[in-house]
A and B are shown apart, each in its own frame.
Chain A
Amino acid sequence: MTTYIIRRLLLMIPVALLVTVGIFVIIRIAPGDPVLTYAGEDKDPVTIAAVRAELGLDQPLPIQYAAWMGRALQGDLGRSFQTKQRVLEAIGERLPVTLELGLAAIFISVSVALVVGILSAVKRNSARDLLTTSATLAGVSFPNFYLGLLLILLFAYIVPGHIFPPGGFVSPTKDLGENLRYMVLPAVTVATASLAVNLRQVRSSLLDVFGQDYMRTARAKGLRERAVITRHALKNALIPVVTIIGIQIGAIIEGAIITETIFFIPGIGRLAVQAIPSQDYPIVQGVVLVSALSFMVSTLAVDILYAFIDPRISFGGAEA
């Protein structure tokens, strides 16, 4: 087990290198000179040259990368071109916001998925089952930016009393009630996208379990159907659900990008979306690195957790 974990951790190094080199090159291919935007309105040539040197953008690409990587290994991701803020500090300020949104969404989505998934799996192929599967398909097919706009329209403008604000963010340390009020619509928006995946997972893993021998044995023993489901099926069916929650935690940043943009939430996804077109290289590189690492770490954590829950799995030399 330990060797497996070490092996997996070691494998992360080339992947992280590939990710950073990849994003480093991609954002620099983009035509357009960031210095011209960051040098202010007056575009004085002396200023521009000085700013370019200041940002290290007068160096050849490999040297720029080596310099960045060298500092990154010491825990310094540089400073934003735009705000001169430390990239780590910028990410640190926004990550909690994105995490709150993502975890709230997972909470909503998993709760609904469990209830509906169980109900639909028990009565497979019934009209109710068809309805729920179609409904989940509808959920996953609904463009979440349009859902976000619809929710804003409904709850911020049409329903009297402005139940929920049309966007923005209040820090939970300042006012927890307000913070939650601001979070409801965005969290529901994010949750809808993952709801279908969760529901499908709950349903299909329950169905899988229903087909197993011990279920038949349990039924043959004369246990009541409800007891069969709760005592035997759910416990085993939850393993893949745990997996999928883990994967979703790793993908929180990804899932929040559009929603943060629509609801003007100062999270890490919006930071990335704004930084790419404005060519704030250090921010983009930092966000991508952090997000890739969190994805890889959570995938590994899920695999390890899986091994603990399900003793049948062993990690021989199997390729991950």
Chain B
Amino acid sequence: MSRSVSRALALLVALTVLLAACTGTTSAPTSQAPGGGAKAAYGGSVTFAMNSDISNMDPMLSGLFVDRHLMYAMYDSLVRVTPKGEIIPWLSALPTISADGKSYTFKLRTDVKYHDGTAFDADSVKWNLDRYRTTTGSLRLGELAPIDTVTVVDPSTVRVDLKAPFAPFVSVLVDRSGMMLSRKTVEAGGADFTRKAFKAGSGPFILTEAVKDDHYTFVKNPDWWGKAANGDKLPYLDTVIIKPITDSDVRLTNVKTGQVQATNAVTGKDVPTVKADPNLVYQEIAGIGYNSLVPNRAPGFLFSEPRYIKAVSLAMDRAELLAKGPAQGVGVVGYGPLAPSHFAYDASFKPFEKADIAGAKKLVADVGKGPLKFELLVSSGDAATLQGAQLLQSQLAKADITMDIKTLLFNEIVTLQQQHKHPGMTYINWSGRIDPDGNVYDFNFTGRPNNDSAYSNKEVDALLDQTRTTSDAAKRKELFLKAQQIFVVDDPSRIFYSFPAAQLLTAKAIQGFQDFPDQLPRFETVWVQK
């Protein structure tokens, strides 16, 4: 055989061998131990999959939900929440609040050190809060806007004075705005800190390796201050690895083969499979976010007529949309922004429980301007959302409402609705906040930045303002529910239709992993059954 031909054939042979060699490396699933109430064991490692890569490790500059997966492992915040949504002490005791509701005093833990060895104290708290609320380009400016001054009273006491009473203030400090970072490390990091936040936190785990699009490795912080209810020193695990895996099928395959032991993102179509898998444990609770359609109520636009909004709301079959739409049954049907895990939730509030075709037709006829026809803007390329939109389209058609779907780039939709220029409706999810205020106020109060429907109702404004100045929970709940009746039913601001679920899928050997309504994993209580 000639030289060139044989060389070419040799390449082929080499390739075939290569292919064959590659097939031999599938890794075996990890061994499973039977569950039970055994005593928690120390050591071991857990690999957790999230559904996309993070953008930013700096709580000040982070604008994506996914970033917070890492932050809960590496940073501590001043206060935290329980799975039930109650605020609990963390780096600080619960603050004492002055009678006028404007002054908050935080008593800090004195046994906390950052991973870089520097101490956590009142100066550090002041530096962090001031950094978040005064730096140009900080994304925490809005949340911390109620703060007037931060004062160091003594090394373990900080007083925060507000410009005006603001009942939900403490809830803001649960998350990014309340996360405490080492000044030394942040300043040394400079512009690159956003991606290389090693040793900046004081949390239960220390970030040791960050490989973009691949994995983030954390090792146990042996000096962490936290203890379990039974007195065990936390955390149990030696190592935590967080991996971004964008494709849901790849993610699930990784969990099934044991390369990943936990994830909080399972698509609806796969839920029956994982529930049936004896090697996996699936938990699901109602989240704190909501899904909604946002009509443009600005004068001159179609939906400045509230009866049209109500007609669409009546014609929708929310149960079918949840069951057959992109969620495939994962989540809870909803009618307003107050989620089941909020203290202000009212389970009996079901204004549009069944689709009311006749009612919808009658409302459109009452307006008397002919059939209702509008445009729904949907982000292009988002297959799941488009599927849901087409389902909704077919539901509304039954009430003779024509909904055209128009795909635009996500940024354009955001811009249009921000300027209140979208012709019909847009489709928007809200990731949710712990206090109902974070789900309600900015979306319904006249002129607020997230009030994309250009909604304005004096009565709602007045009620919502009262929820901020009243600190009594029962009173606040009553006010929220009153407002909700108006901006959902009587004079609708937008169409709320479901709450997403907070999911948690773990391998059977993984113990102590709690599902939180905010969907974020907390690794300090997790342990591996040997």
B24 CB → nearest A CB, Å = 8
User: A31 to chain B: which residues have CB within 8 Å?
Assistant: 408-409, 412, 415
Residue of A nearest to B22 (CB): A181
A156-B253 CB under 8 A given contacts A44-B145, A83-B55, A115-B9: yes
**Cα of A266 to Cα of B213 in the assembled complex, Å:** 6
Report B120-158 CB contacts with A as 1/0, cut-off 8 Å: 000000000000000011110111010000000000000
B247 contacts A264, C-beta separation under 8 Å: yes
Q: Which residues of B contact A (CB under 8 A)?
A: 2-5, 8-9, 11-12, 15, 18-19, 21-26, 55-56, 61-63, 136-139, 141-143, 145, 191-192, 194-195, 211-214, 245-247, 249-250, 253, 257, 380-381, 408-415, 418, 430-431, 442, 449-450
**Cα of A231 to Cα of B253 in the assembled complex, Å:** 51
Task: From B139, B191, B442, name the one whose CB has the most chain A CB atoms within 10 angstroms.
Answer: B139
Q: Which residues of A contact B (CB under 8 A)?
A: 30-34, 36-47, 50-51, 53-54, 79, 82-86, 90, 93, 107-108, 111-112, 114-115, 118, 156, 161-169, 171, 177-178, 180-181, 184, 226-227, 229-231, 234, 264, 266, 277-279
A166-B250 CB under 8 A given contacts A115-B9, A277-B409: yes
**Cα of A38 to Cα of B63 in the assembled complex, Å:** 7
User: B8 to chain A: which residues have CB within 8 Å?
Assistant: 111, 114-115, 118
Contact of A47 among B11, B141, B409 (CB under 8 A): B141
User: B2 to chain A: which residues have CB within 8 Å?
Assistant: 226-227, 229-231, 234
A85 contacts B442, C-beta separation under 8 Å: no
A180 contacts B22, C-beta separation under 8 Å: yes
User: A167 to chain B: which residues have CB within 8 Å?
Assistant: 247, 249-250
**Cα of A177 to Cα of B3 in the assembled complex, Å:** 30
A42 CB → nearest B CB, Å = 4
8 cross-chain pairs, A with B, having the tightest CB-CB distances, nearest first: A44-B142, A32-B411, A40-B63, A230-B2, A32-B412, A266-B213, A40-B139, A111-B11
A111 contacts B15, C-beta separation under 8 Å: yes
A32-B23 CB under 8 A given contacts A44-B145, A82-B55: no
B12 contacts A111, C-beta separation under 8 Å: yes
A201 CB → nearest B CB, Å = 14
**Cα of A231 to Cα of B24 in the assembled complex, Å:** 40
A84 contacts B56, C-beta separation under 8 Å: yes
User: B5 to chain A: which residues have CB within 8 Å?
Assistant: 115, 118, 230
Residue of A nearest to B452 (CB): A43
**Cα of A10 to Cα of B395 in the assembled complex, Å:** 62
**Cα of A162 to Cα of B258 in the assembled complex, Å:** 13
**Cα of A111 to Cα of B11 in the assembled complex, Å:** 6
B208 CB → nearest A CB, Å = 15
User: Beyond A47-B137, A161-B26, A167-B249: 9 further Cβ-contacts under 8 Å?
Assistant: A34-B411, A44-B142, A44-B145, A47-B142, A165-B250, A177-B24, A226-B2, A227-B2, A279-B411
A36 contacts B414, C-beta separation under 8 Å: yes
User: B450 to chain A: which residues have CB within 8 Å?
Assistant: 41-43
User: A107 to chain B: which residues have CB within 8 Å?
Assistant: 11, 15
**Cα of A265 to Cα of B352 in the assembled complex, Å:** 44
Residue of B nearest to A47 (CB): B141
User: A46 to chain B: which residues have CB within 8 Å?
Assistant: 141-142
B411 contacts A278, C-beta separation under 8 Å: yes
A30-B412 CB under 8 A given contacts A39-B139, A45-B449, A84-B61: yes
User: A118 to chain B: which residues have CB within 8 Å?
Assistant: 5, 8
